[in-house]
Amino acid sequence: MDRGFISEEEPLLPEQDEPGIIPARGMETESQEFTTEELLQEAEGFDDTDYHDLEQTDKYSVDDILNENQDLLMRTGEQKETADIAKEQNEEIKFDAKDWKIMLINKQHPIPEDYTFTLGNIKTMKGTMKCDERIIEELLSMMQDAKKDGVNLAICSPYRDLKYQEVLFDRKIVNYMNKGMSYLDAYKVASQAVTLPGASEHQVGLAIDIVCDTYQLLDEGFGNTDAGIWLSEHCSEYGFILRYPKGKEYITSIEYEPWHFRYVGKDAAAIIMEQGLCLEEFWDQYL
């Protein structure tokens, strides 16, 4: 039965929130057009290097990163044993729509206004970055096991605040407007490449952009690398899914992104990856 999680409703523009104990706000009720100059002025002063610039790859060491996070990895091993025992005791898995792990965030389902979470630090090749503290241990465990298989994963963009997501989106709009598009056309095309502010999984710290030491471009080519293939085959073992798979663009409204992984927990991840679903389809079928 179609529960309405796959929809063609138009998105709305977001409202900026105040910093603090990381609330996540919803979307505004009216859209507003901006001139190219206004959008460029809004984006001025923001630097992409904390998120996507991997020029220091020559200094990258998975060993160093894993050693820095060793205390978290030890706890992860203990939790895995407990989780495996619990899984054996539960033959039928039931999912709760209120579970933070499987929260659906897209254009039609922006971040709930009352949603809060706690950020944790994770040491990466670009220094200390942040994501939801509840996913860090599984993320590090995935990196560690990938390394054992000869794959050196690199985290390049985890948590982003609302302001930075707005900047990324505005820059994409400006790029298309500079190519001759109207604001509305540019907005529509931009929303297929960059998730809308207020509807981005990065804003709740559950999405991670991942590359590797030999391929740092955020493009479709990453999916053909050893790292991209390893992730698609093993990510569910750690509770992650490929959030925007190829062939599901008509459902997700986002282009294929082989570098974008979302934490949903191991039970949901196993179903989603084994059955070749996107998160929207999972909601329609299991919730």
Catalytic residues: 257
**Cα–Cα distance for residue pair 208/239, rounded to 1 Å:** 12
Residues 203, 162: contact at Cβ < 8 Å? yes
Tell me the torsion sign for CA atoms 237, 238, 239, 245: negative
**Cα–Cα distance for residue pair 118/20, rounded to 1 Å:** 10
Question: What does 142-201 look like in DSSP terms, one character per residue?
Answer: HHHHHHHTT--EEEEE----HHHHHHHHHHHHHHHHTTT--HHHHHHHHHHHSPPTTS-G
